[in-house]
Amino acid sequence: MSDQETMFRTTMAAAQVGIFVLQDQRFRFVNPFLAGLLGYAEEELIGRMGPLDVVAPEYHGIVVENMARRAAGVAGHAYELVIVRKDGSRFPATVLGAAALIDGRPASVGTLLDISTQKAAEQRIRELADYDVLTGLPNRRLLQERFAQLLAAAERDQEELAVIFLDLDHFKRVNDSLGHSVGDELLCEVARRLGSVVRRVDTLARLGGDEFIFAMPGFHSAAAADVARRLLQVFARPFEIAGHELTVTPSLGVSIYPHDGEDLETLLRNADTAMYQAKEVGRNAFQFYSSEMNSKSLDRLLMESNLRRALQQNEFVLHYQPLVNLQSGLIVGVEALIRWQHPELGLIMPDRFIHVAEETGLINPIGDWVLCEASRQAQAWCDSGLPAVVMAVNVAPVQFRQSGFIEVVAGALATSGLDAGRLELELTERTVMHDADVNMGTLSALHRMGVELSLDDFGTGYSSLAYLKRFPVGKLKIDRSFVNDLETDPDDWAIASTIVSMGRSLRMTVLAEGVETTEQLALLRKMGCDMAQGYLFSRPVLAEAMADLLRRQPFVNR
């Protein structure tokens, strides 16, 4: 063997790309790399097999055409095809051939490159561009692309098209209490369940967070309502996630093309508006879009922007209502109640703005302000020589579940100098009972700080006596709905007296709210109720008027 031939064979053996020589449509030479890539021994290929034996049948035409061009002496260009290995597996490849003469007859010399990694990378790039990384569902970009096709078909066939906007209720609570990994796993399971409802022609997409979109061609209102009901049923069964049994509900908004919009952005916006309407009527429900909803949405946006300004301009003010001991008549506590002193509309009551504050997250800074201001005022009264009283502050569910709530309470006490035992946090029964095991840690931490805890609106939720016994709660508040008709409704009397007995058995103080008549007061005293508040004693008043009541103690021996 000559030095030149030795150098050639050594070079071919070291090459990390497939190299071949073709003549008469048969391999005359293949290097070791190509033989290994195809899964054959060199002797199985050389002189016995040709390109058509290792190329996928659907590419035979292009291979025959290129072999004919090389035989005619035409220069080659790289092209892609699919190679079939000896074991039947396939991979994409790029082939480049060049015309040659060997022993005076036409031949071609070429290279074959495995481009599996390149193709996989391209596919991944397409997926990242068009699909949600977490759930694998189409993202907004792909939704827009598919919707354009659906819209064109709907216009052509004069059909309706439904857009459903689905948002999970209280999803943030899962992330805050159990961690984002559990939240992500929950979203993936939700996506799998939702996928079982849609047809092949529908598009299910994830916009981000806990928002899912359905674009469904050929749907009128009645059919869309049926789908929405089936989507609600998807959530009837709890989700088993990382050892937790999670009950999650959705709120859905529906808009219909062309009645509610003629492009995706309008239909999405209106479906989103309808979804918020579903949340307002109680969640775990669906609502259709209407023009009235749009005006409500504008009002809500104005309310939100005004609330943000109110925080910056210090437009909130606290009023205080006395909590009276029914044995002595002494004012032993006050409840802080927020009001909005609007520069143009005057005094706005909380029922007009609290729900917007909760939905937008503004309830946290507003609630933090209430805690700090109420604590400051309680200490200011004490510093001025007035009797020391407990300051009761309502805590909204969203505020209670925010991370760092315990630190906010501790900060309010430290800044004001108020003793922890003179701050009472009022939590609704529903707030405490939802995710009771998770909330137990927060309640216990507050109790260890010395903060008093009160269960507001008791009797209106879904109490569990087992949990009630475990919670470090010192006071039960009988909801005003049971006090309103106490003199005339035997059921209200029975409920109120049962709550009093239950509180006594659990060594808790019982307070009745909404007391407005002397008859109600007499019945509550007869039951053995410990405390009361209501218009019979005083409406909520400003700090100066409350200070006067504390100074005079007008209900003693009354």
Spell out the domain ranges in the chain. 3-119, 132-289, 300-550
Instruction: Measure the CA–CA gap between 350 and 357, rounded to whole angstroms.
Output: 10
Annotate 522-549 with DSSP letters as a single string: HHHHHHT--EE-STTT---B-HHHHHHH
Q: Which one has a higher pLDDT value, 86 or 124?
A: 86
- Give the span between the Cα atoms of 405 and 224, in whole angstroms: 42
In angstroms, the CA 243 to CA 322 distance is: 46
> Does position 283 have pLDDT exceeding 90, yes or no?
no
More confident residue, 428 or 58: 58
333 membership: H or E segment, kind and range: strand 331-342
pLDDT of the residue at 497: 92
**pLDDT on residue 24:** 87
Starting at the edge strand found earlier in the chain, the sheet holding 26-30 runs 26-30, 18-23, 105-114, 90-102, 79-84
Question: What is the reported pLDDT for 460?
Answer: 62
The pLDDT of 436-451, averaged and rounded, is 83
Rg (the chain; Cα; Å): 37
DSSP-assigned letters across all residues of 79-91: EEEEEE-TTS-EE
Report the C-alpha gap between 185 and 240 in whole angstroms: 10
Q: Taking the mean position of all CA atoms in its chain, how far away is CA 108? A: 61
The answer to whether the CB of 540 falls within 8 A of the CB of 337 is yes
Per-residue pLDDT, 313? 92
> In CATH, which of 1.10.443.10, 3.20.20.450, 3.40.50.1100, 3.40.50.2300 is domain 300-550?
3.20.20.450
Express as a percent the part of the chain with pLDDT over 70. 92
Q: Which has more confidence, 207 or 123?
A: 207
Give pLDDT, residue 1: 55
pTM (2 decimals)? 0.53
User: Is 60 exceeded by the pLDDT of residue 461?
Assistant: no
Judged on CB neighbours under 10 Å (0-12, 13-18, 19+), 394 is: buried
> pLDDT-derived band of residue 119, with 50, 70 and 90 as boundaries?
confident
**Length of the chain, in residues:** 558
Q: Residue 548 has what pLDDT? A: 96
What is the predicted pLDDT for the residue at 357? 87
Residue 467 tokens read as 């949990």
Strands 390-394 vs 331-342: parallel, antiparallel or unpaired: parallel
Report how far apart, in Å, the C-alpha atoms of 236 and of each of 189, 190, 193, 195, 493 are: 14, 12, 11, 16, 36
pLDDT digits (tens, 9 = 90+) for 156-172: 888 889 999 999 998 98
Contacts of 507 (CB under 8 A, 6+ apart): none
Q: How far apart are alpha carbons 8 and 445 in whole angstroms? A: 80
How much is the pLDDT for 281? 80
Helix, strand, coil percentages in the chain from 3-state DSSP, rounded to 5: 50, 25, 25
Residue 464 has pLDDT above 60, yes or no: no
CATH code: domain 132-289 is 3.30.70.270
| pLDDT beyond 80 at 294 | no
Q: Would you state the pLDDT for residue 390?
A: 96
Q: What is the CATH number of domain 3-119?
A: 3.30.450.20
pLDDT at res. 5: 64
Q: Which of 372, 353, 375, 352 is nearest to 363 (CA)?
A: 353
Sign, CA torsion 151/154/159/161: negative
| pLDDT tens digits, 360-370 | 788 999 999 99
pLDDT at 127 exceeding the cut of 80: no
Q: Is the pLDDT of residue 547 over 90?
A: yes
Question: Average pLDDT, stretch 469-481?
Answer: 85
pLDDT of residue 4: 64
Average pLDDT over residues 20-35: 90
Q: Is the pLDDT of residue 331 over 90?
A: yes
Query: Is the pLDDT confidence value at 459 over 80?
Result: no
Give the burial class of 532: count Cβ atoms within 10 A of its Cβ; 0-12 exposed, 13-18 middle, 19 or more buried: buried
Give the model's confidence band at 299: pLDDT under 50 very low, under 70 low, under 90 confident, else very high: low
Window from 96-100, 464-468, 537-541 with minimum mean pLDDT: 464-468
Lowest model confidence (mean pLDDT) among 118-122, 404-408, 475-479: 118-122
Tell me what pLDDT residue 467 has. Answer: 61
- Of 186-195, 316-325, 460-469, the poorest mean pLDDT is in 460-469
Q: Which residues pair with 30 in a beta bridge?
A: 20
pLDDT tens by residue, 333-349: 999 999 999 888 888 89
Q: Strands 203-208, 161-168: parallel, antiparallel or unpaired by DSSP?
A: unpaired
Mean pLDDT over the full length of the chain = 88
Q: What was the pLDDT predicted at 263?
A: 92
